């Protein structure tokens, strides 16, 4: 099988280029894209990519796979190969450090901005802060995010304004804490999201929903944040 | 967090609200005009003049005109901050559409009340 891989080593290459590899795929097996990368690495040790858990939990191996962002470890070749060819590029929109490895500083900066931790100004109880099963259920579909950046790097609003637009991953987490019954900083959190960029640069095109490897829905969470802002102001 | 002095309203929420409200007004205005054309297949100038002679329709038209201006300001501001990265070019573009929208508004008022 032909695999075309984005290569760029800033120390030796003037500009990025696509390099083709012929990879022998074992018969009768639907390998994951990450397995193919390992086979290429046997041919060419200079290829650089991130990976860790190889089972869709750590979020390290987000790639642009034949044009669609996804995790290499949980994307089977049967889904990724188009016209007998596999095309692997780094996640778009963020600076490339080398080959398939991107600099995720801006992504993490946006994540940090939404204060992704529980804030509670009440004295801590002896054992734990209790939550009803109904309130806990509100966090389903939010807490599962693994911060792989597949969504934010598929979002044109994040491409054009990565310094100012929080992006789908950060906003999903913003809503995760807005929706948490144990959090007491809801009003401050909302006040920090009211500007024209942080939330409202989302145009609702749902690229984020289309690519999320965990099947989450950031667009829906962004809609909930807008509603909360609206309820606060009307 | 991010602030701006060139967007239309005071906040992102304000812009978002106005963009949606103006869209509804423009949709209703368009449907009304479409209905008017469909119910007047042989439209004469006198009927057209009578429609705009009605104060209610003038107010409705002015509301639609203001909606166009607000909607366009917010939309063009969004496009300019997405795609025009050089501050000088972005400022010139923003100034140009704000002036153009102002001209359209004043000109439109003159047309509506000059009938």
Q: Tell me the pLDDT tens digit for each residue of A104-159.
A: 999 999 999 999 999 999 999 999 999 999 999 999 999 999 999 999 999 999 99
Q: Tell me the pLDDT tens digit for each residue of B37-55.
A: 999 999 999 999 999 999 9
Contact flag A195-B12 (C-beta cutoff 8 Å):
yes
Closest CB to B1 among A192, A226, A233:
A192
Closest CB to B13 among A156, A192, A194:
A194
State residue A49's pLDDT score: 97
Identify the segments of chain A with pLDDT beneath 50.
none
Q: Which DSSP string corresponds to A40-68?
A: HHHH-TT-----SSSSSSS---EEEETTE
State residue B7's pLDDT score: 84
Task: Please provide the size of chain A in residues.
Answer: 234
Query: How far apart, in Å, are the Cα atoms of A210 and each of A54, A70, B70?
Result: 21, 10, 32
Q: Which of A86, A110, A9, A38 is nearest to B2 (CA)?
A: A110
Which residues 6+ apart lie within 8 Å of A1 measured at CB?
A22, A23, A24, A25, A36, A77, A81, A84, A85, A86
Contact flag A113-B16 (C-beta cutoff 8 Å):
no
What percent of chain B clears pLDDT 90, i.e. is strictly above it?
89
pTM of this prediction? 0.91
β-sheet bridge partners, residue A70: A63
pLDDT band at B3 (very low <50, low <70, confident <90, very high): low
Work out the widest C-alpha separation in chain B, in whole angstroms. Answer: 56
DSSP 8-state symbol, B30? H
Contact flag A199-B11 (C-beta cutoff 8 Å):
no
B1: pLDDT strictly greater than 50: no
Q: What is the mean pLDDT of residues B67-94?
A: 96
CB contacts < 8 A (A, B): 49
Chain A residues with CB-CB distance to B5 below 8 A: none
DSSP 8-state symbol, B79? H
């Amino acid at each position: 099988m032909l695999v075309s891989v984005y290569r760029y080593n800033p120390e030796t290459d003037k500009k990025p280029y696509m390099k083709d590899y012929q990879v022998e795929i074992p018969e009768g097996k639907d390998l994951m894209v990450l397995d193919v990368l390992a086979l290429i690495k046997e041919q060419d040790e200079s290829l650089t990519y991130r990976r860790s858990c190889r089972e869709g939990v750590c979020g390290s191996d987000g790639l642009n796979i034949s044009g669609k962002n996804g995790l290499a470890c949980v994307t089977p070749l049967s889904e990724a190969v188009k016209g007998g060819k596999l095309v692997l590029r780094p996640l778009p929109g963020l600076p490339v450090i080398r080959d398939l490895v991107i600099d995720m500083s801006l992504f993490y900066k946006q994540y940090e901005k939404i204060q992704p931790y529980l804030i509670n100004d009440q004295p801590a109880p002896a054992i734990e802060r209790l939550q009803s099963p109904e309130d806990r259920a509100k966090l389903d579909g939010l807490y599962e995010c693994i911060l792989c950046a597949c969504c934010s790097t598929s979002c044109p609003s994040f491409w054009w304004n990565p310094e100012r637009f929080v992006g789908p991953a950060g906003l999903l987490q913003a809503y995760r804490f807005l929706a948490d019954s144990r959090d007491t900083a809801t009003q401050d959190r909302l006040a920090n999201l009211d500007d024209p960029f942080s939330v409202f640069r989302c145009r609702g095109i749902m690229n984020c929903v289309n690519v999320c490897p965990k099947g989450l829905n950031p667009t829906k969470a962004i809609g909930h944040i807008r509603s909360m802002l609206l309820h606060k102001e009307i | 967090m991010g602030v701006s002095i060139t967007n239309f309203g005071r906040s992102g929420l304000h812009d978002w609200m106005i963009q949606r409200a103006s869209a509804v007004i423009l949709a209703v205005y368009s449907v009304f005009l479409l209905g008017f054309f469909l119910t007047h297949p042989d439209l004469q100038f006198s009927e057209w003049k009578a429609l705009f002679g009605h104060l209610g329709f003038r107010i409705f038209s002015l509301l639609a005109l203001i909606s166009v201006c607000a909607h366009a300001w917010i939309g063009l501001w969004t496009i300019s901050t997405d795609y025009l990265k050089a501050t000088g070019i972005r400022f010139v573009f923003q100034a140009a559409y704000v002036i153009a929208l102002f001209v359209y508004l004043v000109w439109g008022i003159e047309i509506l009340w000059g009938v």
